[in-house]
Amino acid sequence: MPINRPDSSALQAIAANYGLTMSTSDMEQYRIATHGALDAWDAVEAAHEKIASPPPDRVWNKPASKDNPWGAWYVTTEIQERAEGPLAGVRVAVKDNTSVAGVPMMNGSATLEGFTPSRDATVVSRLLDAGAIITGKSVCEDLCMSGGSHSSRTGAVRNPWDPTRSSGGSSSGSGVLVATGGADLAISGDQGGSIRIPAAWLGLVGHKPTWGLVPYTGAMPVEQSVDHLGPTARTVVEAARMLTVIAGPDGLDPRQPRAWERIDYESELRRGSRGLRVGVVTEGFGHPDSDPAVDETVRAGVRRLTSAGLLVEEVSIPWHLMAPALFAVIACEGGLTQLVEGNAFGANWKGRYDEDLIAFYGAQWRRSPDQFPEGVKLAMLSGRYARDVDFGRHYAMARNLERTLAAAYDEALSRYDVLVMPTSPVSATPLPGPDASVLELLARGSEQLVNTSAFDVTGHPACSVPAGMLDGLPVGMMVVGKQFDDATVLRVAQAAERELGGFQSPPTNKETA
């Protein structure tokens, strides 16, 4: 469809927005020139229509409440393209920020409700090629902007260990479905801790890969520099097997390296972990809002790693305490620029854009901006104010300081093979009530990210593995490694899993849901 041509009043409004002053005569000439320039837009659309393909016809259903007791499914389906492969017959849930062609995608938000993608995300194509069965889309938090599980427009995702508590976010549904057996594995996403927090609060393994290791193509971005996809699993072996399938460049994602040596992460686990050096990060414990019992649960778990032959020492990284501030600036200003003003995909990068999602979401959120969740509204207000008064200066400073932060971890990792700390400073928190204030909703979505967000900023691989139980709730230990050395991270995570007991099934009686 040809793009509508603007009249003079529309152009005057644009000029006024930029502070341009034009005479009536000049504006008329710009109107004529603009109409001619927009011929190129029509030509691009006509050419694109020739290469576009309709979405496949795939059957899906919205499950009834009785079949969705934890609120973890958005839609269910059953898609299998091969009966053979390393994931043959494995049931995989896909976080609903990630495209499955022909199946609705809501990203937890009213701003995307009604959208159906026409192409599979790269990770989905790779899973299908490996024999996996895509069994549905898991509920995620509204535009992935919460570390709690209360913000999705489909309703809260409840924790099967205690239905009054959060399951963690934003990959809340992915975690609950794997924990309760609704799926064998799940694709999850992480921009501030969203793979690892649900894993910690549900007693699972959640691996945030090195930034760029797994293609983000086909998932809805938040901020290109912190976007990650990765596996949620019950065991480290299962996480490693999925990572082997989904990792590696696809040529469509500028986050990824051009060259990469293929690694079988499951085979790497057979090397064991004896003799590996573990640095226990002092600053990962004792935050102002930390639960001392969570800290002690993780420290007790770390002490037991010596039984597996690992060498454990305390290490101080003072820059770790600066990481949450860097993340806040990058997430607010960067999220405003890309997720809101850039209609999720932004501009100025080479790769595959989802033109349909951009148009659908861009139009829908502008019809009713009040639909945005509290976290996005905070980014809009604080990020826009900072941009208006300082024009992105603080974002630039945060990006420059990112290198200093990464260097601090790299220096420690030159002496240790991995670093460890609590995944979350607290165990699963109570779900906010229906009358919760804005401040409470924001707090329940961000208080758990104080350790995890650092490694979305720097891109280091980080895996949450069960560290034990505390008052009937799981506690997670986070293992962090060198860039693209995900294999060593998983080897140490497996050692922790063996020493500390690993995944335990939560009570899943539907009557308690």
pLDDT in tens, 147-166: 999 999 999 999 999 999 99
117 close to 356: Cβ distance less than 8 angstroms = yes
Cα separation of 312 and 148, whole Å?
Answer: 32
- Which domains can be identified in the chain, with CATH numbers? 8-51 (no CATH), 60-512 (3.90.1300.10)
**pLDDT class for 416, splitting at 50, 70, 90?**
very high
Cα separation of 393 and 217, whole Å?
Answer: 29
Q: At residue 413, does pLDDT exceed 60? A: yes
Q: At residue 508, does pLDDT exceed 70? A: no
Q: Which of 170, 424, 446, 464 is catalytic?
A: 170
pLDDT at 507: 87
Give the mean pLDDT of the chain: 96
pLDDT at 192: 98
329 close to 464: Cβ distance less than 8 angstroms = no
Residue 42: other Cβ atoms inside 10 A: 12
- What does the DSSP 8-state code read for residue 337? I
Q: What is the b/e burial string over 419-429, where b = at least 16 CB atoms within 10 angstroms of the residue's CB?
A: bbbbbbbbbbb
Q: At residue 71, does pLDDT exceed 50? A: yes
92 close to 134: Cβ distance less than 8 angstroms = yes
Give catalytic status of residue 194 as yes or no. yes
Q: At residue 109, does pLDDT exceed 80? A: yes
Q: Which of 99, 171, 194, 453 is catalytic?
A: 194
